[in-house]
Amino acid sequence: MSNNSVSNPHPNTRRSSQRQATRQLLVDAALRVVAEHGFAGATTAAIAKASGKAHGTVFVHFRSREALVDEVVREIGDAISRRLAQTQSAVPTVEEVLDAHLAALAEHEVLYARLLGEAATLPAPARARVFALQSGIAFRLRQAYERELAQGRVRAIDRTLLANTWIALTNHYLMHRDLFSPGASVVAARRDELKACLLQLIRS
What would the pLDDT profile of 41-81 be if each residue is shown by its tens digit? Answer: 999 999 999 999 999 999 999 999 999 999 999 999 999 88
Q: Which domains are present in the chain?
A: 1-62 (1.10.10), 65-204 (1.10.357.10)
- Tell me which residue of 188, 196, 128, 130 sits closest to 166, measured CA to CA: 196
What would the pLDDT profile of 79-118 be if each residue is shown by its tens digit? Answer: 988 888 886 678 899 999 999 999 999 999 999 999 999 9
**Cβ atoms of 199 and 93 closer than 8 Å:** no
Q: CB under 8 Å to 144, separation ≥6 — which residues? A: 92, 93, 94, 96, 97
Give the global pTM.
Answer: 0.85
